[in-house]
Amino acid sequence: MKKRSHVFSGFLLILLIASHATQAQNVNRSRFIPDSIDNYINRALTNWRIPGAAVCIVKDNRIVLLKGYGIKELGVPTKVDQNTLFMIGSNTKAFTATALAMLQDQHKLSLDDKVTKYIPDFKLENKLATQEVTIRDLLCHRLGIGTFQGDFTYWTSNLTRGEVMAKLGSVKAPYQFRTKWGYTNAAFVTAGEIIPRITGKTWEQYIKENIFAPLGMTNSLLLSADFPKSINKASAHTLVDGRLVAIPFPQLDNLAPAGAISSSAQDMSKWVFSLLDQGKVGARQVIPTAAIEATRQAQDIVSSGKRITGESYYELYGLGWFLQDYDGKRLVMHDGGVNGYVSSVTLVPSEHLGIIILTNSDQNSLYEALRWEILDAYFNRPFQDYSEKYLAGFKLRYNNELQANQKLRDSVALNLKPALSLNSYTGKYTNELYGNLTVSKGENNDLEVRFEHHQRMYAKLQPLGGNRFFAIFSDPEFGRAVFPFNVQNGKVTGLHVKVADFIEYTPYEFKKD
């Protein structure tokens, strides 16, 4: 009897100690935001080699954190503040989807209307899909097209929005219509172009008048062409051969409804406040609650897997938003990446919690790591130091890429002869989707590729022996790759072109004229 009592007493003591430890941990985690987040971010900026960032946390209808970190441009000591503009990339999509949901609430359209009702000449390669595709299909990426497929044709190109829509009809979808999720920027361009058909106003005019102005987002910009004119802006940066460099601002207005908005932490807080308060600004209803709910209804299964912590998760897509489960709570979230910038917006409606992270380098996962760190702090989960975990994986992948490129440069240095004369490779090549490119003789033993729709960009081709060449794009965002020429019976018939996965995963086959 005494022995049993002793064991029970010991068990109570263990529970008491564990309880105190848990309480201490929870208290410590709750102090992460006010006590530790500044040091965490500043250290992470150094480790990730990110010039600057802006972060905002809103909770229970108040701002918990609104701050800039680091500098706007490498080598220039001007600090980021809460009003510094960053390009937010695909976080633009939620604005486009919300605008169309607002028009539905006004009974000016239905998200289940056929696209051809408003754009009669719209077409996809699949004729049945052309007849059946709805606005909702456009906004949830279920056309059967692969993720990023076609983006090389559109990205920073000289095509107009109308031409982007027309090119969408030449994309050879690898999947049946509505059978597989595939992230399609041109679909959002098409959705955005429905707005002027109904309202008589351009996509940018409608968003400005009906979302930006009522929310007080007075510093935000809808077109990338206006971004360089801003005084308080963060410059774009990327890594080239292991060096951080500033790069030109991307011109993406042909894809504007999919990714051209620039905003600040301050302005984005107004957007997030309203979304967490059922579309209200104070007592005024700016965005109909029904419109917000429409964008958060799950439409597609994106993926399932394991997080870096080993936990399982699912990911769905609404309209302009990803939907995830985490710690028993529903996350409404999206990331955005364009040349030189990546961003993250996360909403936890049940907790009245919103997180905004803006960075001015496109070679980082801090925007993702910091999101989970903040969520864990609010959910009293153990500290993981996600930044270091993500950084370890990033360094491994990036170093492998550097080594692969160095091996190709070493091969170039061997002066291996092409299988044919350089003149055999020169000429005009055509791809049904992209259009034309021209190969000409460059300096020394090189070739040069010029692209019809990227007139400021070229690729330098250095011989690797046989019919293979090492391609180095003048725009580092398009990456480096091996371009093999197709040869039949000693005659060049085509060229295999691959750009960086950041732009598009799908390779292009060009036929020689």
- Is the Cα dihedral 143, 148, 149, 153 positive or negative? positive
Q: What are phi and psi of 15, to 5 degrees?
A: -60, -40
User: What is the reported pLDDT for 444?
Assistant: 83
Greatest Cα-to-Cα distance within the chain, rounded to the nearest angstrom: 98
User: What is the reported pLDDT for 28?
Assistant: 54
Q: Could you tell me whether strands 86-87 and 447-451 are parallel, antiparallel, or unpaired per DSSP bridges?
A: unpaired
Q: What whole-number distance in Å separates Cα of residue 496 and Cα of residue 459?
A: 13
User: What is the reported pLDDT for 29?
Assistant: 64
Radius of gyration of the chain (CA): 25
User: What is the reported pLDDT for 473?
Assistant: 98
188 Cβ neighbours under 8 A, 6+ residues apart: 93, 96, 138, 139, 255, 257, 258, 259, 320
Give domain status of residue 3, yes or no.
no
Instruction: Provide the number of structural domains found in the chain.
Output: 2
Give domain status of residue 264, yes or no.
yes
Which tokens sit at 309?
Answer: 């912590």
Q: Which of 370, 398, 426 is the last residue of a domain?
A: 398
Residues 375 and 422 in one domain: no
Residues 475 and 390 in one domain: no
Q: What whole-number distance in Å separates Cα of residue 393 and Cα of residue 406?
A: 20
Three-state DSSP string of 54-101: EEEEEECCEEEEEEEEEEEECCEEEECCCCCEEECHHHHHHHHHHHHH
Give domain status of residue 17, yes or no.
no
Residues 122 and 212 in one domain: yes
Per-position pLDDT tens, the chain of length 513: 333 333 323 323 333 333 333 333 444 566 899 999 999 999 999 999 999 999 999 999 999 999 999 999 999 999 999 999 999 999 999 999 999 999 999 999 999 999 999 999 999 999 999 999 999 999 999 999 999 999 999 999 999 999 999 999 999 999 999 999 999 999 999 999 999 999 999 999 999 999 999 999 999 999 999 999 999 999 999 999 999 999 999 999 999 999 999 999 999 999 999 999 999 999 999 999 999 999 999 999 999 988 888 889 999 999 999 999 999 999 999 999 999 999 999 999 999 999 999 999 999 999 999 999 999 999 999 999 999 999 999 999 999 999 999 999 999 999 999 999 999 999 999 999 999 999 999 988 899 999 999 999 999 999 999 999 999 999 999 999 999 999 999 999 999 999 999 999 999 999 999
The helix/strand/coil state of 183 is coil
- Is the Cα dihedral 358, 367, 44, 329 positive or negative? positive
Residues 349 and 424 in one domain: no
Residues 320 and 458 in one domain: no
264-290 core/surface letters (b: 16 or more CB in 10 A; e: else): bbbbbbbbbbbbbbebbeeeeebbbee
Counting beta carbons within 10 angstroms of the beta carbon of residue 396, is it exposed (0 to 12), middle (13 to 18) or buried (19 or more)?
exposed
Residues 55 and 136 in one domain: yes
Residues 146 and 102 in one domain: yes
CATH of the domain at 103: 3.40.710.10
Give domain status of residue 6, yes or no.
no
Residues 239 and 97 in one domain: yes
Give domain status of residue 4, yes or no.
no
For residue 300, the tally of other CB atoms under 10 A from its CB is 17
Which structural domain range is residue 433 located in? Answer: 414-512
Amino acid at 450: R
CATH of the domain at 472: 2.40.128.600
The helix/strand/coil state of 177 is coil
Give domain status of residue 87, yes or no.
yes
Residues 389 and 428 in one domain: no
Q: Which of 367, 398, 429 is the last residue of a domain?
A: 398
Residues 418 and 480 in one domain: yes
The pTM is what?
0.93
Give domain status of residue 403, yes or no.
no
User: What is the reported pLDDT for 132?
Assistant: 97
Q: Which of 363, 398, 433 is the last residue of a domain?
A: 398
Residues 52 and 105 in one domain: yes
Give domain status of residue 329, yes or no.
yes
Residues 333 and 434 in one domain: no
